């Protein structure tokens, strides 16, 4: 057993202990309050946890595994593109965080779809979104498990299936037992491990490479386009801008980011969640991506670029430190999976199940929540057994799909009183159709080399506005709930 394995097992045992501890906390909560505790951690999370919840949830294997891999393959151009995600917390929490915090308390919303239910009061929207969230997030979760399993396998020597079990079962334990409470406690440990792991990897890589100057000269000798912001024209400005839209302006459409907005304690936590998130995401992204590019000057011969991070952790630093980096990379992936599992489980068990069976008891809902959560993670693990090779494309596809469906109904739903259920349904359907066409038979929709989601998202917003204007205004009750001042009774 090597040092990396020992470090990783210690980290895993800590998470298991957190799972059991949070289970005991959740079980002490009265059954009537269980739902709010399991899905929203009692709406009492502070700034650091909120920052980590959104940043860790959105920065997935695409940042922690594919990030260094893409930068290894495409040089500093991908560092530049990945840096555009630095302000994801700001771009999510500032536009709608205050409204979500206020309205969620008014209507007692504990889940993502509870907010849609309160805003649009339409069963079809809940059912469609529950299905879309599940369809897009399950494969997304599976790619996270694949990324984690590959890293664990490479660094510890354990086979793929053993590594998959090691990386995924612990998430199953602390999510199913502790729900949002377990996730929020675990994420503090994971946030520290992720940040320390990234710093160690970066320092070790730069030191091993002999400094920036030497690595830049080697990279220039290998391929001068590695030093170009466009990789010699491979990544055009419109393409980079469309990625900036996906991970910046449109990030409101990512369902699992809603957890932070639903659970923060007060506006002090909101503010800290915003700026601390900026610091965390910048550190993770910049340090990992720079390590990937500089790593190419150390070993330009890796057959699989995604192996750059684990390879560096194993070769440029002592074993125990490599174990911390391993734990950091896997922690970055596990935070994403946990956030997604809570969103899917709440969509199915709380919203879909309750729509289909309105008379379900609190005890029945409690049981359904845990079984659904366990089932979702088990399905994702099952999908991960297939070992898909193109993780990054599946991730980008899922992000684009989710944002094409929900960006308009969320943003305009909170900011525009005139928006209504018909606008939301039309926007969701239009976004999905255009996204499907742009991804398959109509590549012309990738205007100017932009990602296919760009046209789908922008046009779905226009459809939302047109259809809302052409149909009846939302009810006074909705307007009063979302925008009205509450006067003394």
Partner 1 sequence: MEMKFIEDPRVKVSRRLWAISWIFYSAFLAFLMGLSYTMGTEPYIWGLPRWVAIGNIVVPVVFVIALIFVAEKLIPDLPLTDEEERGKGGKE
Contact residues toward partner 1 (CB under 8 A) are: 76, 79-80, 83-84, 86-87, 90-91, 94-99, 101-102, 105-106, 211-216, 227-230, 237, 240-241, 244, 248-249, 266-268, 270-272, 274-275, 278-279, 282, 286, 414-415, 479-480, 483-488
Q: Which residues of 297-333 are buried (b: 16+ CB within 10 A; e: fewer)?
A: bbeeebeebbbbbbbbbbebbeeebbbbbbbbbbbbb
Q: How far is the CB of 90 from partner 1 (least distance, A)?
A: 5
Q: How far from 132 is each of 128, 359, 368, 404, 445, CA to CA, in Å?
A: 6, 25, 20, 11, 22
Nearer to partner 1 (CB atom), residue 213 or residue 361: 213
Nearer to partner 1 (CB atom), residue 268 or residue 363: 268
Nearer to partner 1 (CB atom), residue 108 or residue 386: 108
For residue 473 the two structure tokens come to: 């205004």
Nearer to partner 1 (CB atom), residue 75 or residue 431: 75
Nearer to partner 1 (CB atom), residue 58 or residue 368: 58
In Å, how far from its chain's centre is CA 152?
20
Residue 358 dihedral angles phi and psi, to the nearest 5°: -65, -25
**DSSP code per residue over 188-237:** HHHHHHHHHHHHHHHHHHHHHHT-HHHHHHHHHHH-GGGGSTTTTTTS-H
What are the start-end ranges of the H helices in 59-159? 61-64, 66-74, 76-82, 88-107, 112-120, 123-156
Cβ count within 10 A of residue 217? 12
Q: How far is the CB of 24 from partner 1 (least distance, A)?
A: 28
Contact 69, 329 (CB under 8 A): no
For residue 86 the two structure tokens come to: 């630095």
Nearer to partner 1 (CB atom), residue 83 or residue 121: 83
Nearer to partner 1 (CB atom), residue 227 or residue 378: 227
Cβ count within 10 A of residue 345? 27
What are the start-end ranges of the H helices in 416-451? 421-439
Q: How far is the CB of 119 from partner 1 (least distance, A)?
A: 14
Nearer to partner 1 (CB atom), residue 7 or residue 85: 85
Q: How far is the CB of 101 from partner 1 (least distance, A)?
A: 5
Contact 56, 281 (CB under 8 A): no
Q: How far is the CB of 116 from partner 1 (least distance, A)?
A: 18
Q: How far is the CB of 33 from partner 1 (least distance, A)?
A: 16
Q: How far is the CB of 293 from partner 1 (least distance, A)?
A: 9
Q: How far is the CB of 86 from partner 1 (least distance, A)?
A: 5
- Could you give the CA distance from residue 200 to residue 190 in angstroms, rounded to a whole number? 15
């Amino acid at each position: 057993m090597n040092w990396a394995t020992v470090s990783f097992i210690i980290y895993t045992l800590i998470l298991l202990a957190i799972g059991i501890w949070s289970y005991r906390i959740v079980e002490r909560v009265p059954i009537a309050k269980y739902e709010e505790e399991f899905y929203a951690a009692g709406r009492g999370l502070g700034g650091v946890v909120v920052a980590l919840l959104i940043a860790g949830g959105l920065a997935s294997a695409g940042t922690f595994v594919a990030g260094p891999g893409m930068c290894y393959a495409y040089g500093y151009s991908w560092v530049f593109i990945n840096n555009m995600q630095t302000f994801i917390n700001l771009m999510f929490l500032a536009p709608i965080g205050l409204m979500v915090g206020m309205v969620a308390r008014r209507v007692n919303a504990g889940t993502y779809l509870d907010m849609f239910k309160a805003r649009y009061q339409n069963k079809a929207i809940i059912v469609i979104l529950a299905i879309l969230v599940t369809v897009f997030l399950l494969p997304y979760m599976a790619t996270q498990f694949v990324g984690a399993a590959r890293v664990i396998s490479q660094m510890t020597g354990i086979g793929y299936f053993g590594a998959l079990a090691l990386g995924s079962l612990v998430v199953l334990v602390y999510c199913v037992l502790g729900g949002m409470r377990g996730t929020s406690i675990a994420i503090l440990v994971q946030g520290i491990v992720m940040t320390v792991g990234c710093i160690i990897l970066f320092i070790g890589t730069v030191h091993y490479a002999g400094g920036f100057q030497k690595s830049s000269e080697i990279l220039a000798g290998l391929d001068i386009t590695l030093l170009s912001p466009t990789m010699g024209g491979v990544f055009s400005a419109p393409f980079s801008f469309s990625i900036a839209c996906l991970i910046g302006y449109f990030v409101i459409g990512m369902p699992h980011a809603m957890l932070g907005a639903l659970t923060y304690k007060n506006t002090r936590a909101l503010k800290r969640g915003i700026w601390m998130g900026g610091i965390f995401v910048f550190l993770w992204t910049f340090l990992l991506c720079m390590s990937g590019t500089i790593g190419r000057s150390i070993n330009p011969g890796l057959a699989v670029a995604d192996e750059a991070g684990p390879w560096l952790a194993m070769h440029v630093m002592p074993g125990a430190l490599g174990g911390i980096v391993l734990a950091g990379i896997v922690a970055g992936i596990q935070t994403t999976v946990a956030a997604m599992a809570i969103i899917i489980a709440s969509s199915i068990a709380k919203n879909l199940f309750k729509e289909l069976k309105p008379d379900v008891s609190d005890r029945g809902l409690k049981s359904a929540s845990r079984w659904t959560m366990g089932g979702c993670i088990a399905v994702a693990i099952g999908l991960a057994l297939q070992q898909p090779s193109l993780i990054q494309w599946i991730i980008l596809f899922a992000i684009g799909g989710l944002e094409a469906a929900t960006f308009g109904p969320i943003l305009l739903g909170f900011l525009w009183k005139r928006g209504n259920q018909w606008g939301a349904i039309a926007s969701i359907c239009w976004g999905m159709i255009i996204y499907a066409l742009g991804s398959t038979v109509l590549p012309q929709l990738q205007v100017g080399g932009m990602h296919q989601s760009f046209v789908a998202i922008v046009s779905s917003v226009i459809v939302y506005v047109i259809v809302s204007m052409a149909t009846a205004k939302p009810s006074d009750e909705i307007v009063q709930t979302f925008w009205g001042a509450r006067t003394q009774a």
